[in-house]
Structure 1
Amino acid sequence: MSEQHPSVTGDRRRWLGLVVISLAVALIIVDSTIVNVAIPSIIDDLDISSTQVQWVQESYTLVFAALLLVFGTLADQWGRRRMLIIGISIFALASIMAALAPTGEFLIFSRVIQGIGGAMILPTTLSLINATFRGRERGIAFAVWGSTIGGMAAVGPLLGGWLTTEYSWRWAFGINVPLGILIVVGALFAVTESKAAHPSRVDVVGAVLSVITSASLVFGLIEGRTYGWWLTADDLTIGDWTWPLTISPIPIVFAVTLVAGAAFIWWGLRRQRRGQSTMIAFSLFRLTSFRNGNIAALIVSLGEFGIILSLPLWMQNVLGYDALQTGYVLLALAIGSFGASGAAGAFGHRFAPVWIVRAGILFEIIGLVLVALVISSDTPWWQIVIGLFVYGFGVGLATAQLTGVVLVDVPVEQSGQASGTQSTARQFGSALGIAVLGTVLFTSLGSTLDTTLESTIPDAAAREQVVDLVVDSSGSAIPALEEKSPEAADAARDAFSDATRYAAFTAAGFLALGLLTTISLGSGRPREDEETGTPEPDTTAAPAV
């Protein structure tokens, strides 16, 4: 299949287009992190539970991950710039809905719509870069793209802290509207349309199966502690209907995940053998760099951003920081990430990209361990900053280079599918990371606090009431608990600190596993002739179908 793409020579507008594309990435990354520091204010204003706290994050991430493949494929066929503009428009409209949300349920619904818009944006930005730039310029473009992700992941909390403290948490969503308008105008002016020359029909069945697989898995991980991992925890009722089984619905949901996932793979391979279009370009997995790179990306993402859920809650509810102070502390991550982008540029020509990825993951592990070791109910801010800076430095090194490693051998005409697959691996890993680390945080918080309070509150029913209050409020009830029982409040702070430490160590463990998966990756250097810009044959993998 031939490819329609913009000229890669003599077009200065494409560098301005890269700025617009990076702003689009910044919009969705900032939004996914800006909410973290606003959560305590949202809890107070809308009176949402700890499960709803996770769903404010996960409803966005879940839909985002589930639809990346769909929109990555559609962007190749309908036009990548068109898909980008539609995605930005939907995202901005959903942001207005979120800013005006009167209840937690409506806020979660608005985040679902945001996830749809975000899923249109992210793979499209990658495929636009892949179609527009060649050779070393593509490496520079990916570095800018990746550095934007790393830096904005920490700028988001600072911006969210300022808006929440000075104005309202609602402005954490409202800020997306003027940014969205700016990006749409910039895309119309500076981003050239590109798409596949001969579009194929969309695999509707594959799309539905991919959504079911992703949605059921993340739902089970989030709701497992609420409904019970095996046996039903409490009476489950929806209106007048009561769950009739002793077994929890969670094992059934996981069974749906397995069946839908197996069916997705079977269906895709079947269509591929018939020469029909598929949601995932299964033939690309014959490329060693693409296959192993996606596995590494998924595992690394499990630990890379999930910890950002627990740290703002801990700093505000245990250390007593306000949203803006929390943002200032998390700014260390952004500074580290931006510093890493400069280091990667200086040493990128001396070391293979895969070694920069490994160094980045190692820095991330060290940073998280440093943070975990200093977490307590009275940790000074500067000790947190040191670990976050090291962690951010690692994020900046690893993010862009890993993207380049994954896509280095992918043909341009399949860049949308490949970008969607790579983005799905990362976002799916991120969704699982938030779900798993959120479960670790709140489950360990409940068990640790219950054990600690046994001597202070001997009555089991009264103790359970206090534990549920702290857990369901995600720790925001601790200041109010201080007035009634200082001892219980101190125990809650210590338990929340322990739970945050466990979450940090869990994230570091995922990253360590991700580091091991990079052993199987190649160098990640582009196989292109520098003079002609044509790809050299890939002798390590079967040709793509």
Structure 2
Amino acid sequence: MICLDATVVNVAVPDIQASLGASLNEAVWVNSAYALCYAVPLILAGRLGDRYGPKRIFLTGLAGFTVASLACALAPSPEVLIAARAVQGLAAALIAPQTMSLIVHLFPAERRGRALGVWGAVGGAAMAAGPVIGGLLITWTGWRGIFLVNIPVGILGWIAAARLLPDWRPAKEHRLDMWGIALSSVGLTALVFGVQSGEAYDWGTVAGPVTIPSILVFGVLSLAVFVWWQHHNTREPLLPLRLFHNRNFSAASVAGGAMGAAMGGLFLPLMIYLQSDLGYSPVAAGAATVPMFALSSLCARLAGKWSDTMSPRALTALGFTLLIVGTATLAWLLHPGISIWVLMPSLLVAGIGVGLVSAPLAGIATRTLEPSLVGAASGVFNTTRQLGGALGSAATGVLLQADFGDTPTTATQAALAFPVAMLLIGLACCACVRPAPRAKGA
């Protein structure tokens, strides 16, 4: 539901504007409020799973997401819809880290790859289905249907999770680092808001003396104080810095951030180019990526299975390489009037790359961690990907507005250089990963 909701709402923006009389800025904030409230509390949500057990936090998040979906569907105004989407984002943040934590607790390291493969495949399938399901629901029921569909799924999912998931709880009670929570929340909110909203405010004044650069500087300083506090907190920090002593986790987190930035930087210019320059409708442009994500879903499942017996580092490196090749050839092929079918092979190569990266990279991040750190690690890993995605969208937006080149085609090609650069960083991180010890009997 989380992955589906991240993509399905994009198709509904025009209908939401017409139905609620929303301005373009309000329509944009329907997505931005969700993304902001999803990214900021991920580290805290992971730590809550460490303290109270991932099942309890998962069920709380799923219940909140379902109720917030009903509030979205019944929203009488843009303001209410934006507020409900913010609550949806908070609930999604409670859910996401627990999925990885539950997999780590349920499966031993030598069998975890297959489970992470299914986890990655579900995300890819949701990304593939989002534009199509969104278009169909809007056609049949209007935009409110994209939120109503979450309610029966959420209820059935809650019942199944309550009955089937084991109630793992920590051996000792963990304390909550209140100063760490405050500093990380303030810093991440400022940073994500600044990156997401910079383009809307032309990277200038927001209100009075407050500017986007000052918000970004404040966010960075707050996070610097947060790291200092985590280093000096001798009791139980929100983010145990010893996580980053694990070279594989550190490399996987940076690679995950680079992957998020690349994905955010790839689809924004591509969707704009397909609609504005090639004349595709929003639904048709979204549907053009369905084969890519369907293939990535299949490859994620296979890559997870293979990572139990093969090197996750090699699979991830191959995935990044294919993504670089697919994205670079996509940029090279662009020209006015080109058919989407000419671009499809490049998109499919990139889709294979996405699938090969997702599950093995998550396995690299968690494979050698002690169980008490898994919740915090899941929160950090998800946070880096979300921050990377926000950075990628903002960076390519700046590049598109800079009008590099004489035509929209050359401007789009210049913007696509950013995701290629991010993918090269991800590939370089693979060289820093220590080879995993081979499982017995592999």
| Fold shared, TM-score > 0.5 on shorter chain | yes
Contact 2:327 2:347 (C-alpha < 8 Å) held by counterparts: yes
Mapped to 2, the partners of 1:428 and 1:340 lie a distance apart of 25
How big is the shift at 1:429?
1.6
Question: What letter is aligned with 2:419?
Answer: A
Q: In the alignment, is residue 110 of structure 1 matched against residue 84 of structure 2?
A: yes
Aligned residue among 360, 369, 374 for 1:410: 369
Contact 1:54 1:438 (C-alpha < 8 Å) held by counterparts: no
Question: What letter is aligned with 1:256?
Answer: F
Q: Which residue of 2 aligns with 1:541?
A: none
Aligned residue among 281, 290, 305 for 1:331: 290
Q: Which residue of 2 aligns with 1:33?
A: 7
Q: Which residue of 2 aligns with 1:249?
A: 211
Change (3 A) 1:327 1:225: closer
How big is the shift at 1:151?
2.8
With structure 2 as the length reference, what TM-score do the two structures score?
0.91
Residue by residue over 1:338-373, the C-alpha shift from the partner in whole angstroms, topping out at 9 and shown as x without a partner, is 342365267546641011111111212222223333
Question: What letter is aligned with 2:50?
Answer: D
With structure 1 as the length reference, what TM-score do the two structures score?
0.75
Structure 2, unpaired ranges of 5+? none
Contact 1:65 1:431 (C-alpha < 8 Å) held by counterparts: no
How big is the shift at 1:53?
5.0
Q: Which residue of 1 aligns with 2:232?
A: 270
Question: What letter is aligned with 1:147?
Answer: A
CA RMSD of aligned residues (A): 2.7
Q: In the alignment, is residue 187 of structure 1 matched against residue 161 of structure 2?
A: yes
How big is the shift at 1:332?
1.2
Mapped to 1, the partners of 2:291 and 2:75 lie a distance apart of 31
Aligned residue among 422, 434, 437 for 1:522: 434
Change (3 A) 1:526 1:68: farther
List structure 1 runs of 4+ shifted beyond 6 angstroms. none
Change (3 A) 1:347 1:415: closer
Contact 2:113 2:308 (C-alpha < 8 Å) held by counterparts: no
Contact 1:369 1:508 (C-alpha < 8 Å) held by counterparts: yes
Q: In the alignment, is residue 505 of structure 1 matched against residue 394 of structure 2?
A: no
Aligned residue among 94, 99, 106 for 1:120: 94
Contact 1:296 1:515 (C-alpha < 8 Å) held by counterparts: yes
How big is the shift at 1:51?
4.6
Contact 1:162 1:327 (C-alpha < 8 Å) held by counterparts: no
Structure 1, unpaired ranges of 5+? 1-26, 238-242, 453-493, 532-545
Mapped to 1, the partners of 2:22 and 2:417 lie a distance apart of 27
Mapped to 1, the partners of 2:217 and 2:313 lie a distance apart of 36
Q: Which residue of 2 aligns with 1:483?
A: none
Q: Which residue of 2 aligns with 1:435?
A: 394
Identity of aligned residues (%): 32
Mapped to 2, the partners of 1:387 and 1:396 lie a distance apart of 15
Q: Which residue of 2 aligns with 1:221?
A: 195
Change (3 A) 1:386 1:105: farther
Q: What are the equivalent positions in structure 2 for 1:79-478 lying under 5 Å apart?
A: 79-229=53-203, 232=205, 243=208, 245=209, 249-271=211-233, 274=234, 276-341=235-300, 343-344=302-303, 347-348=306-307, 351-376=310-335, 378-441=337-400, 443-444=401-402
How big is the shift at 1:52?
4.4
Contact 1:33 1:308 (C-alpha < 8 Å) held by counterparts: no
Contact 1:303 1:508 (C-alpha < 8 Å) held by counterparts: yes
Mapped to 1, the partners of 2:39 and 2:171 lie a distance apart of 27
Mapped to 2, the partners of 1:499 and 1:52 lie a distance apart of 27
Mapped to 2, the partners of 1:52 and 1:307 lie a distance apart of 24
Residue by residue over 1:273-323, the C-alpha shift from the partner in whole angstroms, topping out at 9 and shown as x without a partner, is x2x111112112111111222122112211124433454454345444345
Aligned length: 442
Residue by residue over 1:360-404, the C-alpha shift from the partner in whole angstroms, topping out at 9 and shown as x without a partner, is 112122222233334455332212332221211111110110000
Q: Which residue of 2 aligns with 1:472?
A: none
